[in-house]
Amino acid sequence: MKIRSWILSICILGFGTTYSQSFQAFQKAADKALEQQDYYAVLHYCRGALARKPNSVEVWYTYARAAQLFYAYEEAEKGYKKVALLDRKNAFPDASYQLALVYKGMGNYPAALSQFRAYQSLASEEDKELLKTHVQACQAAIETEESATYKITPLSKRLNSAYSEFGAWRQGDTLYYSSYRFENKEDKSRPKRKIAKVLYAKGNGRGRPLRYVNSDTLHTAHTTISLNGQRLYYTQCKYIDGGKIQCAIYYRKKDRRNRWGKRAFRLPKEINQIGCTNTQPSIGFDSLLQQEVLYFVSDRKEGAGGLDIWWSVIEKGENKYSEPRPYRGNTAQDEITPFVSSADQRLYYSGDYAAGLGGFDVYHGPLDESKDFDRSSLSRPINSSYNDIYFFLDDPTEKKGLFSSNRPGQRYLDPLSKACCNDLYAFEFIPPVDTSTQAKQDSVYPDPTMSLEPVPKLNPDLDTKEEIKPIPVPSTLADFLPLALYFENDHPDPRTRRSKTKLDYLSTFDPYLEAEETYIENYLKLYPAAEKEQAQIKMQAFFEKEVAFGGERLVLFSNLLLQRLQEGDQVEIFVKGYTSPRAQSDYNLQLGKRRVSSLINHFKSFQNGILRPYLQQKRLIISERSFGETTAAKTVSDDLSDRKRSVYSIDAARERRVEIVEVKRN
């Protein structure tokens, strides 16, 4: 049994682009990708097949099904409507039912209700009860207004990217979460598939990878911390077949320097059962048992079906746990992302139930197994017709917290499908105006009955206390200019004299961001103790306001460029490369060309080659301007032995860049 990729909020991009394939080749590739649950690839291959046979009902059904599973609901709706028009032999009788599910997932409850009722005459007797539940859920959603007592706010775009962010929790002013946007450096797929890493963000700052915990070849995600703050639990997951992922739970202990140690402890086989996935750990205190308890998700065969929640008492000893027991709220459907609220002794989790609003909704139930089980769902707008998962209650008394959702309105990895990925949201309970003499207590979040030992902060960082103001998105390509994109020293492809590289800019961008701590550490050596704090703030500002800002703007620029090309424009982009003066001029000339080459590769590979036809037709032209280190600032050292100044100073780092300096539109 294996975990589905979207449970980790991961969008799979592991396929190559081939323009000369036949209809049969595209159809076969789509079917194989569907078996591997690589839904993004299915959409790509189906588009190729439909370009050759636009009336193939089989391909349209596959396309619609993949889009539905990928939560690209607009594309799924289009696909199922095509099937309804083309399926004269009634080869796909369930298409109308699937379309009803799509409408429900979109929150179009009247259309879903009509579609479910239309399908009732075709449904088998055993399916009619399920249909009845869907009908009742749609009716209830139509009749129930969205609660005005919750304020929902997406977190900053410094945290939410075009990829998936999920599993957020907060300690003090520090946020911890997982992000699926890093390249698997050893992946043999082309292009390389992404992996998730654990990040932390201080105050209003940008997320930074958590030291020592992450892997460069495995997904690292789903952190939680022990009650005494001495163990960090997390999962590491690997691809085992196409888009399928299998996970195991680990923990690390604090070392003498109060950092997470380099040794990873894999939880025993009772928790990490062989042959199945074990993921999403959550730690809480069971007041009845008076013990610390680990909750986690597994698809082991002893469960109720699909993904289930299990729990185990953490016993005294190095790595000892009681035999896991299933959570009594498990069903034949999936239950995922548990969160233990020790304060109110309830378990919050997400379930994919027909009685819900659509997709995964957040539910909660008691930890005390001696009590009658009552499953309750949270109201809208926390729950929606989309997937609402990874619920975290920040403060039971103030009734605020975090969750992840793929609801529309944020950035898309694939704007064409408007699908993928999850973003982080904050919620806050706004008490209604109470005109009665005695306010009623909200039953969802009772007052806490116990207090837990404060959790020590991880990797404390300096807070600049700077108010972050939203930066308006430019409406024209020229408004982005000049667009500076920064590189690590001697990258891409260090210690070579080649003028071209196979890497694209964004594949060099993330490793550079991950090197921030190394730059800070070396940069601080240039300053006396009294000036180190201000120097650290300056280096952090460089990475946040220049390096990270440039990469984010490049994605926005590329999306707007695509829009202009689709509208019929012809665009010429002028690019200029720079280097710091550490090497000889002839070497720097080739290095500058490699940097320009990586940017050209970005436009070639953007959204899986969507700009390539425009490049081939000369409707998109990329021209190079002269470059090198001749214009480097005089404050930049060229002393090879002085790495602190020639490599790690801000002045030197600013010179290692490529700029888009001009754009012409015809």
pLDDT band for 17, please (50, 70, 90 cuts): very low
Residue 472: predicted pLDDT: 63
Residue 516: predicted pLDDT: 84
pLDDT band for 640, please (50, 70, 90 cuts): very low
Q: Taking Cα atoms as reference points, which of 211, 258, 346, 356 lies closest to residue 338?
A: 346
Higher pLDDT, 495 or 447: 495
Among the listed ranges 204-218, 403-417, 473-487, which one has the minimum average pLDDT value? Answer: 403-417
- Mention every residue, 6+ apart, whose C-beta is less than 8 A from residue 218: 195, 236, 237, 238
Q: CA 19, CA 86: separation in Å to the nearest integer?
A: 26
Higher pLDDT, 238 or 453: 238
Contact 223, 198 (CB under 8 A): yes
Classify 90 as helix, strand or coil. coil
pLDDT band for 11, please (50, 70, 90 cuts): very low
Structure tokens that stand for 157 in this block: 């775009």
Q: CA 471, CA 466: separation in Å to the nearest integer?
A: 14
Higher pLDDT, 260 or 14: 260
If you average pLDDT over residues 496-514, what whole number do you get? 87
Q: CA 69, CA 80: separation in Å to the nearest integer?
A: 13
Higher pLDDT, 419 or 382: 382
Classify 649 as helix, strand or coil. coil
Peptide bond into 366 cis (omega under 30): no
Contact 342, 359 (CB under 8 A): no
pLDDT band for 399, please (50, 70, 90 cuts): confident
pLDDT band for 597, please (50, 70, 90 cuts): very high
Q: Which amino acid belongs to residue 571? A: V
Per-residue pLDDT tens over the stretch 368-378: 877 778 889 99
Instruction: Name the burial class of residue 303, with classes exposed (0-12), middle (13-18) and buried (19+) by CB atoms within 10 angstroms of its CB.
Output: buried
Q: What is the mean pLDDT of the chain?
A: 83
Q: Which of 11-15, 337-341, 558-562 has the highest mean pLDDT?
A: 337-341
Residue 434: predicted pLDDT: 56
Q: CA 239, CA 234: separation in Å to the nearest integer?
A: 17
Residue 418: predicted pLDDT: 52
Q: CA 517, CA 534: separation in Å to the nearest integer?
A: 15
Residue 410: predicted pLDDT: 55
Res. 518: pLDDT tops 70: yes
pLDDT band for 519, please (50, 70, 90 cuts): confident
For the four alpha carbons of 273, 338, 405 and 455, in that order, the dihedral sign comes to: negative
> Looking at the chain, how many residues does it have?
666
Among the listed ranges 27-36, 128-137, 294-303, 395-404, which one has the minimum average pLDDT value? Answer: 395-404
Q: In angstroms, what CA-CA distances link 145 with 49, 139, 411, 574?
A: 43, 12, 27, 52
For the four alpha carbons of 317, 321, 323 and 325, in that order, the dihedral sign comes to: positive
Contact 156, 438 (CB under 8 A): no
Going along the chain from its start, the domains and CATH numbers come out as 5-143 (1.25.40.10), 150-429 (2.120.10.30), 477-665 (no CATH)
If you average pLDDT over residues 142-156, what whole number do you get? 85
If you average pLDDT over residues 200-212, what whole number do you get? 83
Q: DSSP letter for 62, please.
A: H
If you average pLDDT over residues 633-643, what whole number do you get? 49
Res. 72: pLDDT tops 50: yes
Res. 622: pLDDT tops 90: yes
pLDDT band for 490, please (50, 70, 90 cuts): confident
Q: Which of 1-15, 33-47, 77-91 has the highest mean pLDDT?
A: 77-91
Contact 658, 573 (CB under 8 A): no
Res. 447: pLDDT tops 50: no
Per-residue pLDDT tens over the stretch 533-544: 888 888 888 988
Contact 199, 179 (CB under 8 A): yes
Residue 537: predicted pLDDT: 85
Between β-strands 150-154 and 657-665, what pairing exists: parallel, antiparallel or unpaired? unpaired
R_g (Cα) of the chain, nearest Å: 26
- Could you tell me the pTM of the whole model? 0.71
Q: Which amino acid belongs to residue 366? A: P
Per-residue pLDDT tens over the stretch 449-479: 333 333 333 343 433 334 444 456 688 999 9
Res. 629: pLDDT tops 50: no
Q: Taking Cα atoms as reference points, which of 21, 59, 57, 58 lies closest to residue 42?
A: 59
pLDDT band for 417, please (50, 70, 90 cuts): very low
pLDDT band for 435, please (50, 70, 90 cuts): low
Q: CA 82, CA 560: separation in Å to the nearest integer?
A: 30
Q: Taking Cα atoms as reference points, which of 632, 638, 622 lies closest to residue 656?
A: 632
Between CA 593 and CA 527, with CA 547 as vertex, the angle to 5 degrees is 110
Residue 219: predicted pLDDT: 92
Res. 15: pLDDT tops 60: no
Res. 209: pLDDT tops 90: no
Residue 153: predicted pLDDT: 92
pLDDT band for 448, please (50, 70, 90 cuts): very low
Compute φ and ψ for 89, nearest 5 degrees.
-95, 5
